[in-house]
A and B are shown apart, each in its own frame.
Chain A
Amino acid sequence: MGEMEELRKEAESLKDQITAARKTVQDTTLQEAAAGITAVGRVQLKTRKTLRGHLAKIYAMHWGADSTLCVSASQDGKLIVWDSITTNKVNAIPLKSSWVMTCAYAPSGNLVACGGLDNMCSIYNLKGKDGNVKVMRELAAHTGYLSCCRFLSDTEIITSSGDCTCVLWDIETGTEKTIFAGHLGDCMSLAVSPDFKFFISGACDFTAKLWDIREAQCRQTFSGHESDINAIGFFPNGNAVITGSDDATCKLYDLRADQELNTYQDSSIMCGVTSLAPSVSGRLLLAGYDDFNVNIWDTLKSERVGVLAGHDNRVSCIGVSSDGMACCTGSWDSFLKIWN
């Protein structure tokens, strides 16, 4: 027992050391640096398109690498690829398991992936012969539900799971290449850096971790949230990380200075953040909440500059298209809305 106590004390002292080390580099705060910047003003986006077709809660959506195709997954057991300009459904893929929690679009546009309570990540080939969309691979090794997946290329994909691990898969062989273990709670979401060298994961242990894909190591851990982290994303320049949590706050962490820079919260907002996406310049942060709204935050000044209200149920997923022209929100009311 004494040994445990000593270990615990030592661990605590190390944690204090880290805090001290972080403090020494902190010679300014974001608030000070952003004080002189002009405000963004009210940002008003309106619904331009509504994508109707799902019959149950939409759990996830992801934009393709071009500007107009996106894929969405719903618990009615369908994965639909939309042409958002015409609102046509390009592909409607029936799933084996209807308990889907995530979907992803490959940067090449050839593949889509999805997964959920079946603990598997299913990869579908959109470019199949004679136009049929077929399952290309089923990546099964997780012991918990699949919460998020993101493609690195047509041959590699990273998944995060409720079994507290993230895994890098080799799609061609269908095997795990690397297992990233370290979280103490369900990994709820992940995001890949713009240069594809790192990825971050947010988990139910209230922390976010930065992983080096090649070295298979956890580089940094960010704490500060008081509840499960549901959503995570990279700042567009790849040097900062934004997390959204059930405690109704979003936080901005700096990777290089290893600090928490900003918290986006408001006393009138109580319900958790389900999803977030930064705009192309990084100045705006769009975050979807449980109270059926999306709030738009000015990342530098930490002010709320807009609200997107239009859904009748929780906003479960949000994404900004690759050219930054439009943002798509998916909700439990089974509709996707494109805002601009």
Chain B
Amino acid sequence: MTIRNTLRDHGQRYRPRMACIKKAEKVLLEMQDPKTGVKSQPQRLVITTIPHAITGEDIITWLADRFQVDTQEARTFGSMLVALGYIYPLQDHKRLVIKPDVSLYRFQTPYFWPTQQWPVEDTDYAIYLAKRNIRKKGILELHEQEHYNRLHKWMNHKWDFIVMQAKEQYRAAKERKKPDRVVFDCQERAYWVVHRPPPGTVSAMDYGLDRLIDPNADEAKTPDFYERMMIFTQQAIMRPRVKSSVSISALVKYCATYRSHDPFLSKCLPSNPWLTDDATYWTLNMPNVEIPTKMRVERWTFSFAELLSDPRGRDDFRLFLKKEFSGENLAFWEGCEDLKWGEAATMREKAEHIYKTFLARGAPRWINIDGKTMEITVKGLKHPHRYVLDPAQTHIYMLMKKDSYGRYQKSPVFKDTLKKAICPEEHQFSDAQLGQNAKKRWPSLSPIILQQMEQEQKAKMAANVDITQLCRFTTPVPHLAVYSGLNDFPTANASPSLAFLAHTPACPSPISVALESTSASERRAEASGGESEGDPAARAPVGGNVSKSRMALSLRRLLKRGCTPASMFASLSPKCHSATGTSSRIQPISPDQPSQAPPRRIGNFFQIKVDIPPECRIYPIESEDEDEQSRAASRGGVGAKEIICPWESLTPQNGTG
């Protein structure tokens, strides 16, 4: 007998398995029931018979019957019981599995059950190994020998005690009757196979890493603990609850709606890449693909969040909003998202940028939110943080969701997209083709590359912002080409001036600046599209230096064409001047003036240069600012007009809000 460990083991080492083990014990008791349990038979050794042996197949049949599972599952279940140490095999004792044949097993005595609270100690193991060594030298397996040597070294100080114990147990065992001795030896051996498994086997006792909290420790039930719990519970009671029926039907509806989009439940067209090694499905469903699939478009109709989270869907929605002249809502929402998830360093600038573009009185893309929200937002912007625009964003989101989303789904834009959407044919691969596919497997596109593509897209988008779109007060003139100034905030500071104009077919502008790499003729063709798609014509370069070189390039080009530098410069310089003027006026909220209201004049930040013939003075130009006047002066001299967003009221130095 081993000495019981007096230290209370808190059952910690069994904790992750305790629930499982308790259930297993219940099953075991049932199995041992003499009437309804597994039939047992005596085991015949050479001269002795040992009762209560059971066959593997009996165990499996009983389990299959009891739990109503098939043989394979019953077998796994039985193997689990063996692995936990509740049943041990009499033959092939090292493999802890149930064999579905007549191999014999026996129930382990409760003394050796895993739920016993005493820990499996190395001392006990050392005694056990020593005992076996005494009985017959050389009987230990290789791994047992290694353990023995290790323990011998480690427990050298109490090795005498161990050997003494071992001898004592050996002697006591000899005094037992043969059947009892055999049984006990088997039991003990099985116990140690479970708790000191041979290397390379999976041990059921392996539960991973210990938990920190002691499961048996009493919780500190201080009055404070109760009070906190009560406060929490009271708050919980007062929380509004939705009726179960409503909530459950929402869940059920969700499952039903998405069922055809769940690849585990429905086929996906053209074919599941995992099955056929053909990546067409992924290519067709790239984030920014031109023509989406029908399934994808269908998904956009499920909820507004779905539409916005899909980049292609968002693009479509943006197109629709552009036609409705409410693109600023989406742009604002996107700006807020960018603020929320972006880096802290740029947060301040972003917040200001958003304010100037969308929220300030007279902002070029003013969004329509109620006064209260505006007030909160403006106040919050004095000390901008990541979530300062949350109320406004929520308001705009709900606006879009309740209003624009519904109209979008009925709009021609959406219907057109839906019509064009492709429904790919299902692939029918022969086996040979499948083999081919497997060989041609390409590695997937790295997310970093995808991100770069996205950034490029974004940059393109930023350059073609909706303000190029004419406001509703104008009628589009056929030869009109609309341009945008730089709207990238940091670069605007970096590179003043730089308004870019493209050729117009009817009246060639004295100034033409090369944009990107598009040739003049291309631009002309695109610009004659007239409609304010804006995309091809204006492409804001990324950096100041680049634009400067472009300027130089274009100047050379102009000179070649025979424009007089004078007229060109005349128009250029005032703009340059005014632009620098404006950019200098666009100051970020200086930290030493926190109480100051946000900057006054920001209208000229976005300069809409409209190249129209002088007789078409559509826009009312009311400006009281000095740079406006300077621009007006230059306006007289040059054909190119410079119009500020007309729906803004140019109030100088007024403060906003």
Q: How many A-B residue pairs have CB under 8 A?
A: 281
- Knowing A186-B212, A221-B236, A281-B261, say if A68 contacts B444 (CB, 8 Å): yes
* Cα distance, A144 to B213, chains bound together (Å): 10
B142 smallest CB distance to A (angstroms): 22
* Cα distance, A237 to B73, chains bound together (Å): 34
Structural contact, B80 and A270, CB atoms closer than 8 A: yes
- Knowing A11-B226, A239-B247, say if A99 contacts B209 (CB, 8 Å): yes
- Knowing A109-B447, A281-B254, say if A33 contacts B264 (CB, 8 Å): no
Q: Which residues of B contact A3 (CB under 8 A)?
A: 223
* Cα distance, A267 to B30, chains bound together (Å): 14
Contact partner, B250, options A69, A214, A237, A280, Cβ 8 Å = A237
Structural contact, A254 and B233, CB atoms closer than 8 A: no
B251 within 8 A of partner (CB): yes
- Knowing A279-B265, A300-B252, say if A83 contacts B209 (CB, 8 Å): no
* Cα distance, A67 to B341, chains bound together (Å): 22
- Knowing A7-B227, A10-B226, say if A257 contacts B242 (CB, 8 Å): yes
B305 within 8 A of partner (CB): yes
Q: Which residues of B contact A127 (CB under 8 A)?
A: 448
A164 within 8 A of partner (CB): yes
Interface residues on A, range: 35 or more
Contact partner, A323, options B247, B263, B451, Cβ 8 Å = B263
Structural contact, B234 and A14, CB atoms closer than 8 A: yes
* Cα distance, A29 to B77, chains bound together (Å): 32
CB nearest to B231 among chain A residues: A14
Interface string of A23-61 (1 = CB under 8 A from B): 001111110011001001001010011000000010100
Structural contact, A261 and B248, CB atoms closer than 8 A: yes
* Cα distance, A279 to B259, chains bound together (Å): 10
CB nearest to A155 among chain B residues: B343
B569 within 8 A of partner (CB): no
Structural contact, B237 and A18, CB atoms closer than 8 A: yes
Interface string of B208-243 (1 = CB under 8 A from A): 110111010001010100110110111011010111
- Knowing A281-B261, A324-B261, say if A10 contacts B255 (CB, 8 Å): no
A179 within 8 A of partner (CB): no
Main secondary structure of the interface of B (DSSP, over half): helix
- List 5 tightest A-B contacts by C-beta distance, closest first: A109-B447, A281-B258, A281-B262, A7-B226, A268-B67
Q: Which residues of A are at the interface with B, using a C-beta cutoff of 8 A?
A: 3-4, 7-8, 10-11, 14-15, 17-18, 21-22, 25-30, 33-34, 37, 40, 43, 45, 48-49, 57, 59, 64-69, 83, 85-86, 88, 90, 99, 101, 108-110, 117, 126-127, 144-145, 152-156, 162-164, 170, 172-173, 182, 184-186, 194-195, 204-205, 214, 218-221, 226-228, 235-237, 239-240, 246-248, 254, 256-259, 261, 267-268, 270-272, 279-284, 290-293, 299-300, 309, 312-313, 323-327, 332-333, 338, 340
Q: A66-B444, A282-B255 are in contact. List 7 more A-B contacts (CB 8 A).
A: A48-B275, A66-B447, A254-B247, A257-B244, A268-B67, A281-B254, A323-B285
Q: What are some 22 contacts across the A-B interface (CB < 8 A)?
A: A17-B237, A26-B244, A29-B248, A45-B264, A57-B208, A69-B446, A85-B273, A110-B447, A110-B448, A154-B341, A185-B211, A257-B247, A258-B236, A270-B80, A272-B16, A280-B264, A283-B258, A284-B262, A290-B17, A312-B202, A324-B261, A338-B274
Q: Which residues of B are at the interface with A, using a C-beta cutoff of 8 A?
A: 15-20, 23-24, 27, 67-69, 73, 76-77, 80, 202, 206, 208-209, 211-213, 215, 219, 221, 223, 226-227, 229-230, 232-234, 236-237, 239, 241-252, 254-259, 261-265, 268, 272-275, 277, 279, 282, 285, 305, 340-345, 387, 390, 441-448, 450-451
